[in-house]
Amino acid sequence: MGSRKPRNKVIENVLLLDIAAEGKCIARIDEKVFFVEGGVPGDLVDILVEKDKKSYAEARVYRLKKASDFREPAFCSHFGVCGGCKWQNLNYAKQLELKTKQVKDAMERIGKVTEGEWFPILASEKKTYYRNKLEFTFSDQRWLNEADMAPDAPKDFNGLGFHIPKRFDKILDIDHCYLQPDPSNQIRLWVKEYAEANSLSFFNLKQQTGLLRNLLVRNTTANELMVLLIVAEDKPKETNALLEGLQKSFPQITSLQLILNQKRNDAFSDLKADTFSGKPFVIEEMEDLKFRVGPTSFYQTNAGQALVLYQLVAKLAQVRPTDHVYDLYSGTGTISQFLARKAGSVVGVEYVEAAVADAVENAKQNKLSNTKFFAGDMAKVLNAKFVRENGHPDVLITDPPRAGMHPDVVAAILEMAPERIVYVSCNPATQARDLALMKEAYQIKEIHPVDMFPHTHHVENVVLMEKRIA
């Protein structure tokens, strides 16, 4: 929204009808579908057309004419610019309704799923400060707002915060983020202030220059705290001084880690982390289980809701003491160990070697001797030889990343034909695509959407399938 005269075409009085898969609103004008950013369903708006194709158009809200009944005032000062919590202006009940609809649309349109009992979406108890991990990016070219562009505004271009949507090189400097509890905000602000006071260079994402690259903060239900600093230059004197100061100012940090990343991209799960102080991991607790989580390991980010999710998985899996279970994409082995307490044995497979090492150690600490974990790319690991060597699964859990399962993985699952499959997904579109490949052999019994990420359009979905009787 803005008051300057736009260059692109404006269309007045458009009613926003619904939400599309990526969280944008849908409007229909003369039979054409418009994907509109910046509004909520029920808003009457003027829109600015940004892309006009033959079959669809993309636009953003230019002026709000009449607010939808589902609107709520956003509580974050960064709302609208930050890509983080785009649904803060939508009431939570409506968010849940739209997430359920998103899953239903994917199941019907992509998966052509016509069977299965639908269960109400499981709401997240916490709506703010629900994340246990945030990753911030340093930039010497932060995103400038209108106030920054005033002639007398201070010329400070350093930023530490989140990527502006669709702008890989622009970082929004964050004052306060409502996603992670204290002391996440204080730590980020301290690091930025220290870096500026000591003239440490912030990374330039285009030229790939500068020292400070990323900062990751991870807190846990067991009150542990990990800070991981990622630098792009090997400058031990500068980085050590920063880390020493940070540890002194925040004695509650139980694990302080450093990674040197000189690659062109920000991904660091394949890099080695050095422990500067404290332990090389943090401990998470769930029911009577403890999990150590290393700096590069995956752990569900909404810990409270992760427990709800795992309890649901355990309920659907219905493992018996004689069952042999496969847990695919097992991360630090959380689901494996949840189920190992009741199952005969569990085999976990996961890509990140450090996560597998954590899973093995976690099982040992939790005194579970009936688990085995393997590291490798699922499409390569999961084959007839693997099943011969590690036993045929009665029950299979799969929890792939957003891309879903590789077709070879789906084929391998169909080949090994477990009695029951529980498919956990953070992307209903790829889940529906995979279900379409499996539904001839498997009956879809239950569908359970779960909200892990309030104020975003993201939704988790858990599907229970059972082998059809031939």
Catalytic residue ranges? 426
- Report the alpha-carbon distance of residue 302 to residue 285 in Å, rounded: 13
* Of positions 255, 305, 330, 345, contacts ligand SAM by CB under 6 A: 330
Nearer CB in complex with ligand SAM: 373/442: 373
Q: Which stretches of 215-352 are DSSP H helices?
A: 236-249, 303-317, 334-340
# binding residues, ligand SAM (CB under 6 A): 18
Closest CA to 94 of 425, 462, 457, 463: 457
Burial of 249 (0-12, 13-18, 19+ CB in 10 A): middle
Nearer CB in complex with ligand SAM: 256/355: 355
Nearer CB in complex with ligand SAM: 274/377: 377
Compute the Cα dihedral for 80, 85, 88, 91 and give only its sign. positive
Instruction: Give the shortest CB-48-to-ligand SAM separation in angstroms.
Output: 36
- Report the alpha-carbon distance of residue 89 to residue 130 in Å, rounded: 18
Around Cβ 146, how many Cβ atoms within 10 Å? 8
Instruction: Give the shortest CB-399-to-ligand SAM separation in angstroms.
Output: 4
Nearer CB in complex with ligand SAM: 231/313: 313
Q: How far is CA 9 from the centre of its chain?
A: 35
Nearer CB in complex with ligand SAM: 178/299: 299
- Report the alpha-carbon distance of residue 182 to residue 45 in Å, rounded: 38
Instruction: Give the shortest CB-296-to-ligand SAM separation in angstroms.
Output: 9
Region near ligand SAM per CB under 6 A, out of 13-21, 183-191, 348-356, 388-396: 348-356
- Report the alpha-carbon distance of residue 184 to residue 134 in Å, rounded: 8
Question: 269-292 burial by CB neighbour count: b if 16+ within 10 A, else e?
Answer: eeeebeebebeebbbbebeebebb
What the block records as the tokens of 142 is: 């932060």
One character per residue 259-298, x = contact with ligand SAM (rule: CB under 6 A): ---------------------------------------x
- Report the alpha-carbon distance of residue 98 to residue 92 in Å, rounded: 10
Instruction: Give the shortest CB-356-to-ligand SAM separation in angstroms.
Output: 9
Instruction: Give the shortest CB-309-to-ligand SAM separation in angstroms.
Output: 8
Please state the φ and ψ torsions of residue 183, each to the nearest 5 degrees: -100, 35
Q: Which residue is nearest to ligand SAM (CB)?
A: 331
300 forms part of the interface with ligand SAM (CB under 6 A): yes
Subset of residues 132 to 191 that bind ligand SAM, contact rule: CB under 6 A:
none
Instruction: Give the shortest CB-325-to-ligand SAM separation in angstroms.
Output: 13
- Report the alpha-carbon distance of residue 247 to residue 239 in Å, rounded: 12
Instruction: Give the shortest CB-408-to-ligand SAM separation in angstroms.
Output: 10
Nearer CB in complex with ligand SAM: 46/353: 353
Subset of residues 379 to 408 that bind ligand SAM, contact rule: CB under 6 A:
399-401
Closest CA to 275 of 307, 243, 238: 243
Q: Are strands 274-278 and 282-286 parallel, antiparallel or unpaired?
A: unpaired
Instruction: Give the shortest CB-335-to-ligand SAM separation in angstroms.
Output: 5
- Contact predicate 16/42, CB 8 Å: yes
Tell me which DSSP letter residue 244 carries. H
Integer angstrom CA distances of residue 222 from 5, 177, 290, 306, 444: 53, 22, 9, 15, 37
413 forms part of the interface with ligand SAM (CB under 6 A): no
* Of positions 34, 329, 338, 453, contacts ligand SAM by CB under 6 A: 329
Nearer CB in complex with ligand SAM: 122/335: 335
326 forms part of the interface with ligand SAM (CB under 6 A): no
- Report the alpha-carbon distance of residue 220 to residue 191 in Å, rounded: 21
Count of all residues that appear for the chain in the document: 470
Region near ligand SAM per CB under 6 A, out of 70-78, 172-180, 282-290, 323-331: 323-331
* Of positions 259, 282, 283, 355, contacts ligand SAM by CB under 6 A: 355
Nearer CB in complex with ligand SAM: 172/352: 352
450 forms part of the interface with ligand SAM (CB under 6 A): no
* Largest pairwise CA distance in the chain: 76
Q: Are strands 442-450 and 460-467 parallel, antiparallel or unpaired?
A: antiparallel
- In the block, tokens 């915060």 appear at 161
Instruction: Give the shortest CB-393-to-ligand SAM separation in angstroms.
Output: 15
* Of positions 41, 331, 404, 454, contacts ligand SAM by CB under 6 A: 331
378 forms part of the interface with ligand SAM (CB under 6 A): yes
What the block records as the tokens of 139 is: 């930039």
* Of positions 143, 281, 326, 351, contacts ligand SAM by CB under 6 A: 351
One character per residue 423-442, x = contact with ligand SAM (rule: CB under 6 A): ---x----------------
350 forms part of the interface with ligand SAM (CB under 6 A): yes
Residue numbers of the site for ligand SAM (CB under 6 A)?
298-300, 329-331, 334-335, 350-352, 355, 377-378, 399-401, 426
